[in-house]
Structure 1
């Protein structure tokens, strides 16, 4: 079983609350989402693994079992062309849970007209494979969001 933790501090809201049908419909995969606190911070790795995809607005970490977790920093933030995001690691880097990956400012994302909500998705997983899904309440960065059985 793999524990997946929150990449940001904020309020867990669940994927259904994400203002994007691809995420809210769990088309990318099951998981949850966090509405982040509105302060400049670093999004951290949700578990130990290797960075296999890295963009200013999103990253994927894959663990030693081949399980990949997508962290998406806001909705439609790809349209910001990296402005307001700072990469702190490189694609191919091995990272540890809680290690800073991308520095960003959710308040600036919101000021730019985008939602700062952060989907955290288990790629190529089934809903049944996840347990202990946190879909409401305050969470700190590093707090458990779900278990991947």
Structure 2
């Protein structure tokens, strides 16, 4: 299953995240996207059911049972929604590429926070995400990586 980039920016390893929990892939394996410093809208990386939406993060469960988390910035929960606008659904279904949250990474950075966007496949082992895009620039909606088959199988059993 292809996972799309929720934002435009430069792809890096999740180990570069300036947060030890994400960097150690405790939430799940994935990648970091250092976003372009222009206002924009983060999109759904996959189609599926909305599991949770916060102003700074959202999670989607695919029909195959794979859970994905998109987290906009580090420690942005402290902003209590300031600088973020939810423009997508907060429950129900979403399609890959659908707009979710409007934000400005430069504004986040101006407040002394990292605007790094973390894309994690929930409940996957560290290092289970592979991409050949490290160091490359991606646009919103470009393919980012393939979700590991094990995650989809595990999700189907849990359903």
TM-score (norm 1): 0.94
Residues 44 and 95 in structure 2, CA contact (< 8 A), matched pair in contact too: yes
Cα shift at 1:50: 1.3
Unaligned runs of 5+ in 2: 150-159
1:79 match: secondary structure: helix
Deviation track 1:59-109 (CA, whole Å, cap 9, x = no partner) reads 001110111100000000001110010001232231111110000000000
Deviation track 1:104-140 (CA, whole Å, cap 9, x = no partner) reads 0000000111000001000012357544363321111
Q: 1:64 to 1:51 in 2, by over 3 A?
A: same
Unaligned runs of 5+ in 1: none
Residues 133 and 147 in structure 1, CA contact (< 8 A), matched pair in contact too: no
**Number of matched residues?**
148
Larger Rg: 2
| Two-structure CA RMSD over aligned residues (Å) | 1.4
For 1:73 and 1:133, the matched residues in 2 are separated by 22
For 1:80 and 1:128, the matched residues in 2 are separated by 30
Cα shift at 1:8: 0.1
TM-score (norm 2): 0.88
